[in-house]
Structures are given as C-alpha cells and as structure tokens.
Amino acid sequence: MLSAFARAFRTPDLRRKLLFTIAIMAIFRVGSFIPTPGVDYPNVRQCIAQAEDGTSLLGLVNVFSGGALLQLSIFALGIMPYITASIIVQLLRVVIPRFEALHKEGQSGQAKLTQYTRYLTIALAILQSTTVITTARQGLLFPGCGLDVIADDSVWTLVLMIITMTAGTGLVMWLGELITERGVGNGMSLLIFTSIAATFPTGLWSVAGGNDGVRNIIIVLLVILVVIGAVVYVEQSQRRIPVQYAKRMVGRRMYGGTSTYIPVKINMAGVIPVIFASSILAIPTLVAQFGDQSAGWVLWISSNLAAQDAPLYVALYALMILFFCFFYTSITFNPDEVADNMKKYGGFIPGIRAGRPTAEYLDYVITRITSAGSLYLVVIALIPTLMVVWLGLANQLPFGGASVLIIVGVGLETVKQIDSQLQQRHYEGFLR
C-alpha cells in the first residue's frame, strides 16, 4: 500500500492531480474558520464552549460542514444545500416527465440537470442561511448561552450575512467541481469526507469526559474499526445477475454471443435514507424551538423526538430508514427499463424469458437484496444511540454510523480511481 502511494506521487500527472485535490481540501477547511461579517466571533467561541444541548439541533448540517455551521463561518452551510438539491432533482424525475426525458438524453441532458441543480442549490442556500441567522438572532442556536453571537442585527448586516453564506455555498460547489474535473475522485464526496473527518478528533475528545474517559475512547475506537470492516465488506459485496447476449448478424459482421452480468449492490441507496430520516425527524424539534417552551406539544416533542435515545425517536428513525431505502432504490433502479434495454439489444437472463418475466425476476431480486441492505443501514445508523445508552454518555456522539459509512464509501471510490490510473501506467495498484 505504501509503495503504491510512493508510485502515485512519482507519476507527474497523478502527483499533480493529488496535490491539486489536497490544496482544494485545505482551502475548504481554511474557509470553515473565517467568520461571516457581522458575527461576534469571540462570543461564538464562548457559546460553543459552554453549549449544553444546542449543538444537536442542526447536528447533521454541522457535521457535513465540518463544524463550520456553529462557528457561523462563510462556509457555514457547507455542501448540504447541494446534496439536498441533487436529491430533489433526482426525485423530481418521478414527478416531472421533462426531467426524466433529460436524464435519458445522455450527456447533454445530464448537463441541463446539473444546471438546474446549481440553481436550486443557490435557492436552498438563501433559505437555509436565513433560517440559521434567524435561529442565531433568537438565541436558539446555542440554548443556555446568553451572549449575542450577532454583533449588529440591522437589516443591511443581516442581508450581507445571507449573501456571504450563499456565496460561500456557491464557492464550495465550484471547488467540488474543480476537484472532479482536475483532481482525483468525486469533488463533492471528497469535501463531505473532509468535513466529517475534521470532526472526528473533537468527537473523540468529547467522549473522554468523565472518570471512564480512557475506557470510553478505547471502546469507541474498537467499535469504529468493527463498523469500518463491516461497511467495507458490505459495500464491496454485490449480487451478479448473469446476462447472455445472442449472436446477431449486422451486414457481414456478427455481433453478440458474449456473457456479462448486472452488478447489484446490497446497499443501493447509500446513505441517502439516513439523511432523509434525520432531516425529517429534525423538523419537529426545529419548529418546537420557536414555540412556547411551556406548551404541552413542545414538551412532548422535547421528550419524545428531541432526545435521540427516546424509544419513539428510535422506532420512527428505523422505520423511516427502511421506507426511504426501498423508495430511493425503486427510483434509481427501474426493472422494466433494464428489461426493455436487454430485450432491445438481444440480451436475456439464462432461464428467464425476455420482457415482462425478466422485469419481474429483477424486481424480485432487488426486493430481497434491498431488504437486507435496509436492515444493514438501520443497524449502522443506530450504533451511536446504542453506544450512548451502553456507555452512559451525557451527549450524543458527534459522529455516527452514517458518517463512517460516508467516509468509507468515499475512501473506497477514491482509492479505486487512483488504482485505475496506476494500472493505466503499468504500475501495481493499491488493490491486489
């Protein structure tokens, strides 16, 4: 492995790409510490230090921003608006026929969908920055902290803060696209990887509180290693559905007669169901922060949905992950479309008739595999909650199974890209 890294840096073209990627990731981290104009940064640091439970309110966005959200930096929103916009555009393919037609047009249609995603990202950035600033003004971003985190709450200052955070989101989106074009790996995924990895040292340090700090850190590290091994094993696993193409004459040439397979991953939905479930369950808590704290419905939400170790929260979280796993898989993999394409090019699954029987067989296989993949996602996502209860920690872990899932997935994809480029230059790659 180390020798492969040395070969990668000895290759001029690959070395240039790797250094460019590292430089962009460094710029992204530096921007996470630059405060937005109008923010009283010393007060923000004090509020972060003495925050009680407010850090869990927007914890998902804060993790994906590498801790920049709670610091109200220019990259406070991070890559989250782009992720949300990408998911929305992908889901709209089911509702809007125009989007589905663009998806089938190839590269030109994909470019158009990417443009729509960028516009929606800016719109969501404006909405989310307004929400974050409003939450900070009302003292709900750091409950229990009486300091003003916004020095000047005039209209022009607030507008400048919204513009700055929105521009920061646009810059992050551009940096991610630069990595994709000129660097190594998927730029957006690598920026998410950087954000989550940056919160790990702080997360481990928070676990060290109390008399059993060393024991807790050792247990957490062991669990993380086990989870990483399980994630690598499951993410690399796939069901290969054999496909045979019949021979056919085109002019004087014979085509087909080859055997291939359709690779079906156990976890086809990735981490999307976990993000969806966490975002939806965070909405009632966010709404309750703006209500009368002594009202009955606010107290009910605080006791049943705000605490992530509450039985109702755990049950709803698991059910939502199961639902979105099946829902997202049904959108991304269409058995009827795959069966039609196979029939069009003379392909068939051995023992299965082409056409409708093939679609029914693919649907049967996908349903069975998705059942196992959804249960796997539920277990990975609930590991932080189970560890909090088991170890008796005062706060939720700042990182969880979903974070490990993202880090391992992005790491595997990036290593595969580097490995393929090494093999193109006749070097021995990372994967043997």
Average pLDDT on 333-348 reads 83
Confidence of residue 208 (pLDDT cuts 50, 70, 90): low
Which domains are seen in the chain, by residue range?
Answer: 1-198 (1.10.3370.10), 211-395 (1.10.3370.10)
Confidence check: pLDDT of 432 > 60: no
> Mind listing the pLDDT tens digit for each residue in 16-60?
888 999 999 999 988 888 888 888 778 877 777 665 444 444 566
Average pLDDT on 274-278 reads 80
Q: Which DSSP string corresponds to 297-356?
A: HHHHHIIIIISTTSHHHHHHHHHHHHHHHHHHHHHH--HHHHHHHHHHTTEE-TTS-TTH
Query: Which pLDDT score is estimated for 97?
Result: 84
Query: Which pLDDT score is estimated for 44?
Result: 79
Query: Which pLDDT score is estimated for 54?
Result: 41
Confidence check: pLDDT of 233 > 50: yes
In percent, how much of the chain has pLDDT > 70? 81
More confident residue, 179 or 254: 179
Confidence check: pLDDT of 394 > 60: no
Dihedral-angle region of residue 205 (phi above 0 means left; psi in -120 to 50 means alpha; beta otherwise): alpha
d(CA 256, CA 342) in angstroms, rounded, equals 12
> Mind listing the pLDDT tens digit for each residue in 114-146?
899 999 999 999 988 888 888 888 777 776 676
Sign of CA dihedral 146, 151, 154, 157: negative
Query: Which pLDDT score is estimated for 24?
Result: 92
**Confidence (pTM):** 0.77
Query: Which pLDDT score is estimated for 138?
Result: 77
More confident residue, 429 or 390: 390
Is residue 268 a contact partner of residue 373, using CB atoms and an 8 Å limit? yes
d(CA 90, CA 97) in angstroms, rounded, equals 12
Query: Which pLDDT score is estimated for 53?
Result: 43
Segment among 224-233, 245-254, 345-354 with least mean pLDDT? 245-254
Average pLDDT on 6-23 reads 83
Confidence of residue 396 (pLDDT cuts 50, 70, 90): low
Two tokens, residue 92: 């709209």
Confidence of residue 254 (pLDDT cuts 50, 70, 90): low
